[in-house]
Amino acid sequence: MPDREHCLALDAADPLREFRDEFVLPEGIVYLVGNSLGALPRRTAERVRQAVEDEWGRELVGGWNHAGWYTQPLTLGDRLAPLIGAGPGQVVVGNTTSVAIHQAVSAALRLRPDRRVIVSDAANFPTDHYIVQGLARTLGGYEVRDLAEGRFDDAAVVLLSEVDYRTGARQDVPEVTARVHAAGALIVWDLCHSVGAMEVDVSGADFAVGCTYKYLNAGPGAPAFLYVNPRHLADAENALSGWNGHAEPFAFEPDYRPAEGIRRFAVGTPHVLSFAALDAALDIWERVPMARVRAKSMALTSLFLDLVGDRLEVASPREPERRGSQVSLRHPDGYPVMRALIERGVHGDFRAPDILRFGFAPLYTRYVDVHDAAATLAEVLDKELWRDERYARRLPVT
């Protein structure tokens, strides 16, 4: 079993170790929630200050032209594109993942007008499934079928996550994409739990969406992204046909005419201040070797599983290739166990009914953090420290 010294040696030899210095990480905590809200990059505060004071403060409304605000949904999309295997002119940034799902699924439905079935995974992050349910209700005449039924043959569109938020199980994107296409359906991939944690390649998919505040570290409320395969760009329609997706927004015409290319998927006024934080986060990603990120991610999650041993039931796949960058463990009293861990400086989170989630963001998580988290978990369980009644009280966000 690797001891603490061994983990320190692994950190010293880690080819990604310099990236940890890019982040502000409070002393004395092990942060394993980068899959929910990524850590703050050091460069972000200055970049946001610039956007506020130098751009907004000095340029005022001129910032739309002089500070590049107006084109940021596309320029930032182009910078993000390599992280998902996409090219320039294929990704637009803005809104939330929920909104991007609505846009992608409605566009896919319009491209398959003869079909009336939307396949969605009831075990997916709820917003994905909720958005699809709402869309089916609004449109009328559509059936939402659970992925578990396993039938795509009459589906218009299939919406799936590459990595399951609860268990960390990873789908085989090329294999599933090929299966969906063979059935004549289109696929929308949700990349929230894979982008920034591994090499992602959606170039064979029809649409993809994801958020930038998890592994990408763009901050709370950071904008989402939407990818549209270039083969659909001429025909795909944006159901949220706002003025920023119009061919000539400043012509103020009475009728909507879609812009050429990915810009038609822009909706309204860009989130300039949030974009500044995304811009800073992408400065880091441009230097990151993703193959190393994936290798370290698999090493970290495997190490954690080794150290936890058979203390708890493991909800994540055992084979590292089939996992995202998280480990999920089950405990019937998972909530107080997680509260007890957090009080001892080990930050994971809890997902009902019984899942303890530990996310390992490879840019700033060290092997020694994995060691310390597993040791604290062992102590909390072995000494039953979680039974203290103060851990049973629920907080609004866990």
- Binding-site entries: 97-98, 125-128, 190, 193, 213, 243, 269
| 127 contributes a contact to ligand PLP by CB under 6 A | yes
What is the smallest separation between the CB atom of 199 and ligand PLP, expressed in angstroms?
Answer: 19
What is the smallest separation between the CB atom of 169 and ligand PLP, expressed in angstroms?
Answer: 12
Residue with tokens 């990603």: 285
Active site residue 357: yes
Return the bridge partners of 351, or none. Answer: 355
Contact characters 198-217, ligand PLP, x per CB under 6 A: -------------x------
| 224 contributes a contact to ligand PLP by CB under 6 A | yes
Between the CA of residue 376 and those of 30, 285, 325, 328, what are the distances in Å? 10, 31, 20, 16
> Residue-wise over 213-252: b if at least 16 C-beta within 10 A, else e?
bbbbbbbeebbbbbbbbeeebeebbbebbebbbbeeeeee
Return the bridge partners of 189, or none. Answer: 160, 208
Q: Which of 170, 264, 296, 357 is catalytic?
A: 357
| 173 contributes a contact to ligand PLP by CB under 6 A | no
Q: Which stretch binds ligand PLP (CB under 6 A): 121-129, 247-255, 307-315, 347-355?
A: 121-129
Segment holding 161, helix H or strand E: strand 155-161
List the one residue from 75, 96, 269, 398 that touches ligand PLP (CB under 6 A): 96
In sequence order, which residues have a C-beta less than 8 Å from that of residue 248 and are 6 or more positions away? 257
Helix residue ranges per DSSP H, 183-251: none
Tokens of 28: 């004395």
Can you tell me the distance from the alpha carbon of 231 to that of 273, in angstroms, rounded to the nearest whole number?
Answer: 32
| 165 contributes a contact to ligand PLP by CB under 6 A | yes
List the one residue from 78, 128, 349, 372 that touches ligand PLP (CB under 6 A): 128
**How many CB atoms are located within 10 Å of the residue 182 CB?**
10
Longest dimension (CA), the chain: 69
Amino acid at 34: G
Active site residue 296: no
List the one residue from 161, 212, 274, 325 that touches ligand PLP (CB under 6 A): 161
List the one residue from 105, 187, 192, 380 that touches ligand PLP (CB under 6 A): 192
What is the smallest separation between the CB atom of 161 and ligand PLP, expressed in angstroms?
Answer: 5
Amino acid at 233: L
- Which parts are annotated binding residues for pyridoxal 5'-phosphate? 97-98, 125-128, 190, 193, 213, 243, 269
Q: Which of 121, 190, 279, 369 is catalytic?
A: 190
Residues that bind ligand PLP (CB under 6 A): 96-98, 124-125, 127-128, 161, 165, 190, 192-193, 211, 224
